[in-house]
Structure 1
Amino acid sequence: MPPLRRSDHNLVHVPLGPTYKPMTLRVPPKKREVMSWTNEAVDKLRACLECTDWTVFTESAENVNKAADVVSAYINLCVEQCTPKKTILYSNNKPWLTKEVKESSN
């Protein structure tokens, strides 16, 4: 049997670990803005919509489609003004991907 020092096994430079990185480690979480629907925000929105004179929208529109567009735009405006927004970190992870599972894949 030849001695090991003469073999070329030390010339092979192949990484012994996996080269694939899971998506959860490759893609950083994204920041997203979401509306916070608290009871206070719902009450504020309800008050905003109750004090609206809806006949203004129906009388000024040329047809039903225009009236629907104007009313929905007004409702969206009220929603954006009345509901607070908060920024969250969103990572498209499944519920079973816990911290322990992620750490074990490293």
Structure 2
Amino acid sequence: MVHLLASYQPNVLRQPPITRTIRVWSEQSMESLQDCLDLTDWDVFYRAHGRDIDGLAEAFTGYLNFCTDLSIPTKTIHCFSNNKPWITRDIKHLLNRKKRAFLAGDREEVKCVQKQLKKRIKDAKDAYRGRMEDSSRRTAIWCGEE
């Protein structure tokens, strides 16, 4: 008898998940940020830095980051190496809904969700392809290739 061990390891096992912190933008958080910026006395920055444009830009950037940190909540997410770039939150919700319907034995719900899922995935792939083409086009223009 020969015992063989596979040398292949899936990508998801070879690379650990990446933990990222993202900002959760909502109408309420954007209004909060807008209120913070509306109540700001911008002349304070001008008086403090005068004609020093670098100091003024640094002060503005620091203040904008402060207001953003104060107003916009953050969320920690885990990105796995086998995640497809076109899979969005809506598609994940539909996948989970399909899984629940399958486990419950509701065939009609599975069919309904599968139709929605197929359309959303197609739309998401098209949007991703468009973003990649635009990015490639901008890079080509920036490099002077067009």
> Does TM, normalized by the shorter one, top 0.5?
yes
Please give the alpha-carbon distance, in whole angstroms, between the structure 2 residues aligned to 1:45 and 1:84. 11
- SS of the residue 2:81 aligns to: coil
- SS of the residue 1:88 aligns to: strand
1:37 to 25, 28, 31: 25
Residues 40-51 of structure 1 aligned to structure 2 (within 5 Å): 40-51=28-39
Could you say which structure has the greater relative contact order, defined with CA pairs below 8 angstroms and 6 or more residues apart? Answer: 1
Residues 66-105 of structure 1 aligned to structure 2 (within 5 Å): 66-95=55-84
Please give the alpha-carbon distance, in whole angstroms, between the structure 2 residues aligned to 1:87 and 1:49. 26
- SS of the residue 2:47 aligns to: helix
Aligned residue number for residue 8 of structure 2: 20
- SS of the residue 1:28 aligns to: coil
Larger radius of gyration, structure 1 or 2?
1
Kindly, what percent of the aligned residue pairs are identical? 29
CA deviations on 1:46-67 (whole Å, 9 max, x unpaired) are 0000110111101211401100
- 2:13 aligned with 1:60, yes or no? no
Give the number of aligned pairs: 85
Cα offset, 1:41, TM superposition? 0.5
Cα offset, 1:26, TM superposition? 1.9
Cα offset, 1:94, TM superposition? 4.5
- SS of the residue 2:19 aligns to: strand
Please give the alpha-carbon distance, in whole angstroms, between the structure 1 residues aligned to 2:61 and 2:82. 33
Name segments (4+ residues, structure 1) moved above 3 Å: none
What amino acid is the match of 2:60? Answer: V
Greater helix share, structure number: 2
CA deviations on 1:30-80 (whole Å, 9 max, x unpaired) are 322211001110000000001101111012114011000001100000000
The RMSD of aligned alpha carbons is 2.1
Moved more, 81-90 or 69-78: 81-90
Runs of 5+ consecutive residues of structure 2 not aligned to the other structure: 88-146
Is the CA contact (8 Å cut-off) linking 2:11 and 2:81 kept in structure 1?
no
Please give the alpha-carbon distance, in whole angstroms, between the structure 2 residues aligned to 1:94 and 1:48. 37
